[in-house]
Chain A
Amino acid sequence: MNNTNIILVLVVLTNLKLLGSSRLGASIRVVAMQGVVLGLLPVLAHTNELSLRYAVLAAGTIALKGIVFPWFLFRAVREAEVTREVEPYVGYVTSLLAGVMILAVSFWMCERLPMPETLASSWLAPVAFFSIFAGLFLIVSRKRAVNQVLGFLVLENGVYTFGVGLAPHTSLLVEAGVLLDVFVAVFVMGITIFHINREFDHIETNRLSTLKD
């Protein structure tokens, strides 16, 4: 098993841990870990053409996803004097089972797609899809606004995983732009969560239900 596959296995495990996790703090730490692990992916996936570009990209990703985001999200959560439960719509065991199902479907789906030869590992695409679907699942199945941000980050990590596999074709400018956008997105979302705390004394999105037809 090469380095890339070890990272991909870690990504799968962090996703499953996230689906079964009941504590908000633990969830933030797991997503941070996933970010750090994924930050190493471009360096390890393209060892034969190691360059400054990948090093910069890896450093930026790790700094943002491993340090800045968790710090910022912990700050946003700390302001809310509420229980630190995740409060899911879908129970933890059911979520885990759904996660395993999603994983199986992702592998089944990618068996049937014509994969380009440039992909660093045959597991890359299925794991990427697994992260994307798991992220979407987390967004719809959790009440807490912070959890929805975490779901968005997992989704973005999935897209990033797929992108890294194709790194020769994307350029540093675009990657930096994407990273910047995600950074600002989490920043703006974090501020919004802070305001939701202050306005409602809670961060449960199911109570954001005044506007409808």
Chain B
Amino acid sequence: MILVLVFLPLLAGLAAFALRSPAVRRGLLIGTALVHAALTAICWKTTPGAALGGWLALDAAGLLFLSITSGLFLVASFYAAGYLGQQANKHTTDVEEGMLFDNAPEAVFIGCLLLFLATMTLVTVSQHFGLLWVAVEATTLASAPLIYFHRHHRSLEATWKYLLVCSVGIALALLACFFLGVAATPPNGEGFPLVLTELVAKAQQLQTPWLKAACLLFFVGYGTKMGLAPLHTWLPDAHSEAPSVVSALLSGAVLNCAFLGLVRVQQVCVAAGLGAFGRDVWVLLGLVSLVVGAVFIIGQTDYKRLLAYSSVENMGIIALGVGLGSAGAFGAMLHAVNHAIAKAMLFLLSGNILAHYQTKNIAQVRGLLSAAPVTGVLWVAGFLAITGTPPFGLFLSKFTILKAAIDGGRTWIGIMFLVSLGVIFIGMTTAFFGMAQGVPDKVASGPANRDRWWQIAPPAVLGLLVLWLGLAVPGPLNNVLRQIAATLGDAP
């Protein structure tokens, strides 16, 4: 079952490179996404057996992140199919500098999308730290060609930064894996394999100094990929230059996959009695990310970069939540789900706006509500969701984290959290309402700019989901979140 989940998109991706007919390729993309999502749904009913001698297994955390990835990919695949239909076989004029450029071949795009799904699935099911590393690095490599879909110099620059910054960061995570290997070799004893369950079971035998060093290097390595400030430098560039559907997957799925890597590290730290040490790092990185996000959101002129910095901010909130112990970790996991859905929705909508207005500049987008009513309404709804306004899910998760901070007696952290959120709310309000209201210019109100179904349905579905999660957290999800939170808080 687990092997099917990994190999299905892998084989489909390889097949997509070879297929000649665009229609068949797009069908393959949507078909694979549907089957993958259906298999993931079955995993909620019956836990699949472990594969490769326990190296691949699906625990609560893996299941949660697999579901996020698979669900987002399904929604995004519909958008991608429509988007590719619109972009097919023509020279495109760049919206910022007016030059002509080509797109990457569609076979490469769809092939890499499917390989990307395969690598992300592998991240979620890996129980072995070495294999996890291989999978995380593979997600970088599979997604780099996706960022370079529009072949012009800005996307090339973004791709280069993404490749180099993430590869170097992740190379340090490999060093961390080896450090963990040293930590797992007791003096005068036989070492044990770097499988999560083994490490947690024998955590008391781990050598503390090496485990601490490994933990810090993991934070540098996977933290780069997760977009935690000050290691986030690749993130705004890659998110703003990639096609919107790729930005949605990067923000919703990839950042969470890197986060899962760090969650595994924290699980080992907690079992080894180093939970407090790990939590301090989480809180520190979380607060820095929140502040950096707030600073760059205020006065941001590009709406895709605005969304990217909002991702840095939200990753900060998630990190902060994990740093606040068991109750905070529950909120953090819930926030990871909510943020993935809301941010993917906003990125897909930003693609619609870019198509209608031909600009990424916030000041040049006016009157979205009258030019493209459905996109406009969803855009405002997405804004309310991402800033944590009730009744959307992000309100609930942010509130849980805030409550964890206050209950834990860490009032100052709570205050910093609230102040950053306030600043971000003001920054985003000016940007979003300026775009929604006013009178649209000629380009945007032309008849060619009607919203199409593939532009509307995917973000609308995501919007309803995040609204639902705000009204009630479903029972099975609640159970899974509790199980994860229990592994991240110190045992009483």
The chain B residue sitting closest to A156, CB to CB, is: B171
Would A177 and B134 count as touching, CB distance under 8 A?
A: yes
The chain A residue sitting closest to B129, CB to CB, is: A174
The chain B residue sitting closest to A128, CB to CB, is: B175
**Distance (whole angstroms) from the CB of A168 to the closest CB of chain B:** 7
Chain A positions within 8 Å of B398 at CB level: none
Known: A114-B207, A213-B236. A199 touches B156 (CB 8 A): yes
Would A192 and B137 count as touching, CB distance under 8 A?
A: no
Binary per-residue interface labels of chain A (115-154) against chain B in the complex, 1 for a CB within 8 Å, 0 otherwise: 0111000000000000010001001000001001000100
With an 8 A cutoff between CB atoms, is A159 at the interface? yes
Would B137 and A173 count as touching, CB distance under 8 A?
A: no
Q: Which of A117, A170, A188, A209 contacts B144 (CB 8 A)?
A: A188
With an 8 A cutoff between CB atoms, is A1 at the interface? no
Binary per-residue interface labels of chain B (246-267) against chain A in the complex, 1 for a CB within 8 Å, 0 otherwise: 0000000000000000000000
**Distance (whole angstroms) from the CB of B51 to the closest CB of chain A:** 12
Interface stretch (choices B5-13, B176-184, B427-435): B176-184
Q: Which of A116, A148, A188, A196 contacts B182 (CB 8 A)?
A: A116
Binary per-residue interface labels of chain B (182-195) against chain A in the complex, 1 for a CB within 8 Å, 0 otherwise: 10110110010110
- Tier of interface size on chain B: 35 or more
**Distance (whole angstroms) from the CB of A34 to the closest CB of chain B:** 16
**Distance (whole angstroms) from the CB of A137 to the closest CB of chain B:** 12
**Distance (whole angstroms) from the CB of A62 to the closest CB of chain B:** 20
Question: How many chain A residues touch B (Cβ–Cβ < 8 Å)?
Answer: 43
Residues facing A in B206-226 (CB within 8 A) are 207, 209-210
Binary per-residue interface labels of chain A (79-91) against chain B in the complex, 1 for a CB within 8 Å, 0 otherwise: 0000000000000
Q: Which of A174, A178, A185 contacts B163 (CB 8 A)?
A: A185
The chain A residue sitting closest to B157, CB to CB, is: A208
A199 to B156, CA, bound (A): 9
Using a Cβ cutoff of 8 Å, how many contacts connect chains A and B? 123
**Distance (whole angstroms) from the CB of A73 to the closest CB of chain B:** 15
Known: A114-B209, A132-B175, A210-B157. A139 touches B130 (CB 8 A): no
A174 to B331, CA, bound (A): 34
A113 to B209, CA, bound (A): 9
Would B134 and A178 count as touching, CB distance under 8 A?
A: yes
With an 8 A cutoff between CB atoms, is A211 at the interface? yes
With an 8 A cutoff between CB atoms, is A166 at the interface? yes
A158 to B158, CA, bound (A): 27
Most chain A beta-carbon contacts within 10 A, residue among B140, B168, B185, B187 = B168
Binary per-residue interface labels of chain A (164-205) against chain B in the complex, 1 for a CB within 8 Å, 0 otherwise: 001011110110011011001100110010011001100001
Chain B positions within 8 Å of A139 at CB level: 164, 168
Would B141 and A181 count as touching, CB distance under 8 A?
A: yes
With an 8 A cutoff between CB atoms, is A155 at the interface? yes
Chain B positions within 8 Å of A118 at CB level: 185, 191
Would A192 and B187 count as touching, CB distance under 8 A?
A: no
**Distance (whole angstroms) from the CB of B256 to the closest CB of chain A:** 20
With an 8 A cutoff between CB atoms, is A163 at the interface? yes
The chain A residue sitting closest to B238, CB to CB, is: A211
Would A173 and B131 count as touching, CB distance under 8 A?
A: yes
Interface stretch (choices B18-26, B145-153, B315-323, B450-458): B145-153
Chain B positions within 8 Å of A192 at CB level: 144, 148, 156, 159-160, 163
Would B130 and A171 count as touching, CB distance under 8 A?
A: yes
A113 to B241, CA, bound (A): 44
Chain A positions within 8 Å of B210 at CB level: 114
Q: Which of B134, B153, B185, B236 contacts A116 (CB 8 A)?
A: B185
Would A155 and B156 count as touching, CB distance under 8 A?
A: no
Known: A156-B171, A185-B137. A210 touches B181 (CB 8 A): no
With an 8 A cutoff between CB atoms, is B161 at the interface? yes
The chain A residue sitting closest to B135, CB to CB, is: A177
Known: A116-B182, A155-B168, A155-B171. A178 touches B133 (CB 8 A): yes
**Distance (whole angstroms) from the CB of B218 to the closest CB of chain A:** 13
Q: Could you tell me which B residues sit within 8 Å of A by CB distance?
A: 55, 128, 130-131, 133-134, 137-138, 140-141, 144-145, 148, 151-154, 156-161, 163-164, 167-168, 171-172, 174-175, 178, 181-182, 184-185, 187-188, 191, 193-194, 207, 209-210, 236-237, 240-241, 296, 300, 305
Q: Could you tell me which A residues sit within 8 Å of B by CB distance?
A: 113-114, 116-118, 132, 136, 139, 145, 148, 152, 155-156, 158-159, 162-163, 166, 168-171, 173-174, 177-178, 180-181, 184-185, 188-189, 192, 195-196, 199-200, 205, 208-211, 213
Q: Sample 20 A-B pairs with CB under 8 A, ordered by A number.
A: A116-B182, A148-B164, A152-B164, A155-B171, A159-B171, A166-B178, A173-B130, A174-B133, A181-B138, A181-B141, A185-B140, A185-B167, A188-B144, A192-B144, A195-B148, A199-B152, A199-B153, A208-B160, A211-B240, A213-B305
